[in-house]
Amino acid sequence: MLNVKQLTIWVTLLVGVTFSCTPDDQPGSQPDNFDRKAMLSHWADDFIIPGYENYHQKLLNLKASAQDFVSSPTVASHTKLYADFTEAYHAWQWVSKFDIGPAERIGLHHFTNIYPADTTGIENAVQSQNYNLKLPSTFVQQGFPALDYLLAGKGNAQATAALFNSNSSYGDYLLNLVTRQQMLTKEVLDEWKNTYRNAFVENDGSSATASVNKMANDYVFHHEKELRAGKIGIPAGVFSGSTLPHTIEAFYSDTLAKSLFLESLEAHRKFFAGEGFEGNPSGNSFKAYLDYLGVQKDGKNLSDKILDQFEVARISAEGLPDNFADAVTNQRQDMLGTYDELQKNVVMLKVDMLQALNVKVDYVDADGD
Amino acid sequence: MRKFWIPLSLGAIVLMGTTACEKDDDSDKDNQNNVIAPATYTFERDGSSTVSYSGQTERLAMGGELSSAFKNTTKSETDLMHMYANEDASGNNVDPFSDPALNASSKSLRSKTAASFAYFSSNASESAAIKEDFENWITLQVNEVFPAWSQAAAAGVPGQIADGSSARYVNAQGLEYDQAFLKSLMGACIADQMLNNYLDEGVLDGGNNREENDNGTTVDGKSYTNMEHKWDEAYGYLFGGAANGADPLATLGNDDAFLNKYLGRVNGDADFAGIAEEIYNALKLGRAAIVAKNYTVRDQQADIVRAKISEMLAIRAVYYLQAGKNAINNGNMGTAFHDLSEGYGFIYSLRFTHNPETGNPYFSATEVSGFLGSLMAGGANGFWDLTPATIDQISNTIAGRFNFTVAQAAN
């Protein structure tokens, strides 16, 4: 039998082993001389602000065609409106992950893209014409998921035009949603341009609230929760055991979800690699930072492994059926395969990258109740 | 981090091995007395199962329906009161549940709130005051929060507030009454009945239970002795919602919204891994001890369950307090209020814990009400004014009375 002293020795030994097991090559534990400010400037000037400019322009287009459709609901005006809706939805994928500064403060993401939509709540709001879109309970009654329902969930273009003709409450609600979305985005864009850009770039330290730390968390969070879980894992039933086809993004548009997924994946890849938004200059981003620190994994640059994995995930997703509802129902294994490829990058980004950058994860999995 | 756990679990194995060594004497004695726990919670007499806890299963299900009703603004105060009491104010039968089996049941949550033999059989005044707390939360939910359902909450103003992508419905102080009610009920009803009633010597040995059990005299028309049944009722408050009640650890955490759920959460924290099995094993061995008429072993196992369930409630109280603190620090007030509301109920539950060394709760009613007063920041705006320093102070005091640290509970 072990006595207490022997036990203490044992435990001490084991603890010793434990510590010697932990990687001691964490470069982030010492301050490095990587130019964080240049990285923040690149993010703000070449990616985030142009991304919001583009998204806001698409919302202005959407608003104009919504006004045309509501004043004259026809198949033609619906077609134009729906095209502008899909363009804006794609543009959103480029800025969705920047839940920081003004976007975080006003809850832009929550008011823009929480799905599935609450269609009962939307119908009640339309019929009663009594609603307050600022309330958290209406997150699921506005934004793109609600537009998707109103434009694609009420039948084909002809049926939808007929509905909007016969009941003006739908048009009122649609215009309220689109206008609100555009105004909220304008507020975020203006603040980025006027004041927040400099505050963001100047906050170049390494504390938990520094811009690099917050952005790294936002990026990793979005990759894990939105790209991996929201767009693929939840509908494929990874967390529920059975498939949940109604939870796919843009549920009422047959093939939009896949295209939005690929857009978001590309937005993640480009941001990581340091490419600029649509022709804007390249600069330093996570890849450059990891390379500067010389971070290796399995004998290769971690940054290259992450970029390779983005490509593997893209190829996996390209192979899925264009209609994600079909994919979930008929090719669940393939969808789970895509999920697994995304998960590999979750590990490399959330564990390997954040550890190397000495950034502490600032979110926990919600407790679910 | 992964690498960290492997040696840690090795350490745990060594510790377990040590414990087994130290217990050798005991288990030899147990073996002499033929107390060997079966592989699963399965006990039979003449080929029929002697295990029964349907009343507990029903109460857990009643709690589940009441939980949904707290967020259904079409429900009246009377509807909720009826769900709590399963009778009207005059004691007449009512059918408040959607599940007909629950309407047919003679059981209720209210009659078993602050109603344990050990703590309340001669403490009617406190028992009545505690029941009033629960009724007040119902009244206030319907009369303060339901009317504010479609307005934004602010300091001193009830309404809804965002917690991530969902809405939480809080009173003027930021407290969610449904969380206060349900998490407090976990202590005041579920744990109180389990730890302070059915595992209590006074109940297990009540009446002629000991003599009947010694003689194998079963209850009229049943296959079990009174004492066996009492123990099973304790078991049912933890595992009564499991699809396979004999072997419930496979679905631990998914079988109710009360002790089972949170034991699952705590067991999932590497710092406390194994606590569920420890409790399950104690419940099995204690029940086997009753069959073997070995009341010493029975009471030893009851004490393990009492200490561990109590610890679990305290761990979860600290967990939610710390989660609330982190959310306040990140400016996520809705998230903070939800965590703090859960924490409020877990703290309320501490008064119903049971320290086997003293026979009393780990925290007195006075201490608990002191915590709750501090948590509401002693003012009209409650959680809105709460500081991280106060949260840490309460957390440290709670953890300090157990063998865990705030850091262990918080992750």
pLDDT for B46 beyond 50: yes
B7 is a domain residue: no
pLDDT attached to residue B32: 44
Arithmetic mean of pLDDT, B69-95: 96
pLDDT at B171: 97
Q: Which DSSP string corresponds to B305-363?
A: HHHHHHHHHHHHHHHHHHHHHHHHHTT-HHHHHHHHHHHHHHHHHGGG--BTTTTB-SS
Residue B162 to residue A139, Cβ atoms within 8 A: yes
Is there a domain that residue B410 lies in? yes
**pLDDT 10s digits, B366-393:** 999 999 999 998 788 999 999 999 999 9
The mean predicted confidence, pLDDT, of chain A is 91
B314 in any annotated domain: yes
B44 three-class SS? strand
- Does residue B362 carry a pLDDT above 60? yes
Structure confidence at residue B12 (pLDDT):
41
pLDDT band at A313 (very low <50, low <70, confident <90, very high): very high
Chain B residues closer than 8 Å to A132 by CB: 150-151
CB contact under 8 A, B257 and A369: yes
How large is the average pLDDT for residues B312-317?
98
For the stretch A136-156, pLDDT in tens is 999 999 999 999 999 999 999
B357 is a domain residue: yes
Query: What contacts A299, CB < 8 A, 6 or more positions away?
Result: none
DSSP readout, B11-26?
HHHHHHHHHHHHTHHH
B205 in a structural domain: yes
Q: A2 to chain B: nearest residue by CA?
A: B18
- What is the average per-residue pLDDT within B180-196? 98
Considering the domain boundaries, does residue B115 fall inside one?
Answer: no
pLDDT at residue A363, rounded to an integer: 82
Q: Which of residues 228-267 of B touch A (CB under 8 A)?
A: 257, 261, 265
What residue in B sits closest to A130 (Cα-Cα)? Answer: B150
User: What's the pLDDT score for residue B10?
Assistant: 40
Q: Which residues of B touch A367 (CB under 8 A)?
A: 265, 323
Checking if the pLDDT of A15 tops 90, the result is no
DSSP calls for B57-125 = HHHHHHHHHHHHHTT-TT--HHHHHHHHHSS-TTS------SSHHHHH----SGGGTT--HHHHTT-HH
pLDDT above 80 (res A367): no
B24 at interface of A, judged by CB pairs closer than 8 A:
yes
pLDDT in the model for residue B16: 40
Is B228 contained in some domain? yes
Rounded mean pLDDT, B93-110: 96
The answer, yes or no, to whether residue A51 has pLDDT greater than 60, is: yes
Domain of B222, in residue numbers: 26-51+149-411
Q: What is the pLDDT of residue A366?
A: 60
Residue-wise pLDDT for A82-93, tens only, equals 999 999 999 999
Instruction: Give B-chain residues touching A140 at CB under 8 angstroms.
Output: 165
pLDDT band at B400 (very low <50, low <70, confident <90, very high): very high
Q: Report the pLDDT value the prediction gives residue A312, as an integer from 0 to 100.
A: 98
Residue A24 has pLDDT above 70, yes or no: no
Range of lowest pLDDT (A348-362, B20-34, B346-360): B20-34
A11, pLDDT greater than 70: no
Total number of domains constituting chain B: 1
Question: B121 in a domain, yes or no?
Answer: no
Contact A97, A121 (CB under 8 A): no
Domains present along chain A, CATH in parentheses: 30-356 (1.20.1420.20)
pLDDT at A17 over 50: no
- pTM assigned to the model: 0.84
pLDDT at A64: 98
